[in-house]
Structure 1
Amino acid sequence: MYHWPYADPALAPGNAPVHIGGSWDISTLLGAYQKGIFPWPIPGLPIRWWSPDPRFVLLPSELRCTPSLRKVMRKTGWKVTIDQDFASVIRHCARVPRAGQASTWITPEVIQAYTELHRLGFAHSVETYWEGELVGGLYGITMGQIFHGESMFHLKTDASKVAFVALVERLHACGYRLIDCQIPTPHLASFGAFAAPRSDFLAFLEIYRKVNPSGNPWANPLWPKVQGEPAQT
């Protein structure tokens, strides 16, 4: 059992940290995710832990993918893999500039902690290659039938979208019930993500983090090809 020793997220303000302080030890991190809390630090300051209200989520069964993106995905230059280069994915997520952000929250301490979570089987990465070169990807945490998305990057237009769609379709095929997108972005909203009351999210999390999915989306490291049509279930 992992342990979150601090405030109850259900009682915290929806637009402020649940807790400030603590450490990056694995028990605290996993205990936080079990409670619907995630770290979003500011470099050089104590860790800020968040459980926003509302919570941005996506139902894998309700994924929206535009015809134009399906057309992009059918191009033969793509290759998508899983858990083949976690280290490069998280470092690219830390380095790639983002609009409205002067610096990255993915500090060396974050990289070290999530690399250990990857070693333990809780953190996973998706890599997108174009003609053999890593050009996009994402990583996150899995618990039961829920995937908590952490960060994504792209060096080529649509590369992170290809990774995201491929992952969501595989999660759906394996019986995952929810993708925790954490905070709203237009990018994720375009795929069908929506704002859910925190109370609903926490109730859902309490049930489905304990339920094993029907399949293992991490077992096969290579998608045979990037599909231009939705995955069959």
Structure 2
Amino acid sequence: MSRLPIALLDPDPHAPFPPAQRALREPDGLLAAGGDLSPIRLLNAYRHGIFPWYSQGQPILWWCPAQRSVFASDGVRLSSRFRRSLKKSRWTVRADSAFAEVIAACAVAPRPGQDGTWITDAMMRAYVEMHRLGHAHSIEVFDGDRLVGGLYGVAIGRMFFGESMFSAESGGSKIALAMLGRMLSAWGWPWIDAQVENEHTRSLGSLRMPRAEFLPLVARQTGLAEPAGTWTERWGVQAAATMAD
């Protein structure tokens, strides 16, 4: 049984969220409904460990689960067999060169146990705008000029909040995540938020972190200054074959 009904958000995008500790036990993490997907509201949500997740026809729903799925940036795990398969790979990995294409591919990617997508047209428009403003980023895996995998998320301070990933070729999303982890670790960003645990993230090394630990971590990391320069410039072009090491 839930302890309290969820809050309905004020129409003002500057209005605060209720404390994340008030999120329901069932469904786990449901905190509030309503509001909008403006950059002001989204950035405020992420800074407080909250994210939107809803289906077409529902109001906007805001979540902060009791157990958070996270990756240590230096802890993304690829199997030895998969690493060996990369030795002759010609794939390359870039950042922020195809954001709209990545989020569109994530929206139509099949998900086990899910019917339809939570990446609605409104969500796509919101995150494309976040990307235009420099807050949302995509990691893209290319085979020549063909996009074969990728992910997108939001960066604030020195914290990356992963949203979704896809593979058009086997292993595409794994390469995107592993390369993101490598680059963030080199930049001094220790964590990647993966929101809700699933079998795929567990296979890649995700950890479970209680909300009471996650929220102070987010407050600390989002309060740090992000290094200067665009992600495209700082990232460059990385060869997937280097992940075979």
Q: TM-score, normalising length from structure 1?
A: 0.92
8 A Cα contact 1:73 1:162, kept in partner: no
Measure how far apart 1:16 and its partner are.
3.9
Task: Provide the rounded CA distance (Å) in 2 between the counterparts of 1:30 and 1:70.
Answer: 36
**Pairs within 5 Å for 1:24-173:** 24-173=37-186
Give the Cα separation in 1 of the matches to 2:123 and 2:151: 15
Q: Would the aligned equivalents of 2:84 and 2:244 in 1 still touch at CA under 8 Å?
A: no
Give the AA of the match of 2:173.
Answer: S
Q: 1:86-138, CA deviations, whole angstroms, 9 ceiling, x for partnerless residues?
A: 01000000112222111101111001100010011110001111243111110
State whether residues 174 and 215 of structure 1, in contact with CA within 8 Å, keep that contact through their aligned partners in structure 2. Answer: no
Q: Secondary structure at 2:123's aligned position in 1?
A: helix
How many aligned positions are there? 229
Matched, 1:228 2:243: yes
Q: Which runs of 5+ in 2 are unaligned?
A: 1-12
Mapped to 1, the partners of 2:87 and 2:226 lie a distance apart of 28
Q: Does 2:221 correspond to 1:205?
A: no
Q: Give the distance between the partners of 2:203 and 2:227, measured in 1 at CA.
A: 27
Distance across 2 between alignment mates of 1:214 and 1:189: 30
AA partner of residue 234 (structure 2) = N
Q: Secondary structure at the match of 1:127?
A: strand
- Which one is further off, 202-211 or 127-136? 127-136
Alpha-carbon deviation of 1:222? 3.2
* 1:8 pairs with 2:22: no
In the alignment, which residue of structure 2 is the partner of 1:180? 193
Query: RMSD of the alignment, in Å?
Result: 1.8
Q: What fraction of aligned residue pairs are identical, expressed as a percent?
A: 37
Contact 1:170 1:217 in 2 (8 A): no
- Residues 3 and 30, structure 1, Cα contact 8 Å, conserved in 2: no
> By how many angstroms is 1:221 displaced?
4.7
Q: Tell me how far apart the structure 1 counterparts of residues 80 and 73 of structure 2 sit (CA, whole Å).
A: 18
2: distance between equivalents of 1:154 and 1:132?
15
Q: Partner of 2:4 in structure 1?
A: none
Kindly indicate whether the alpha-carbon contact (under 8 Å) linking 2:85 and 2:244 is maintained by their aligned counterparts in 1.
Answer: no
Query: Aligned equivalents of 1:176 and 1:87: distance in 2?
Result: 25
Unaligned runs of 5+ in 1: none
CA contact (8 A) 1:84 1:221 kept: no
Per the TM alignment, residue 220 of structure 1 is displaced from its structure 2 partner at its CA by 3.4
Q: CA deviation at 1:165?
A: 0.7
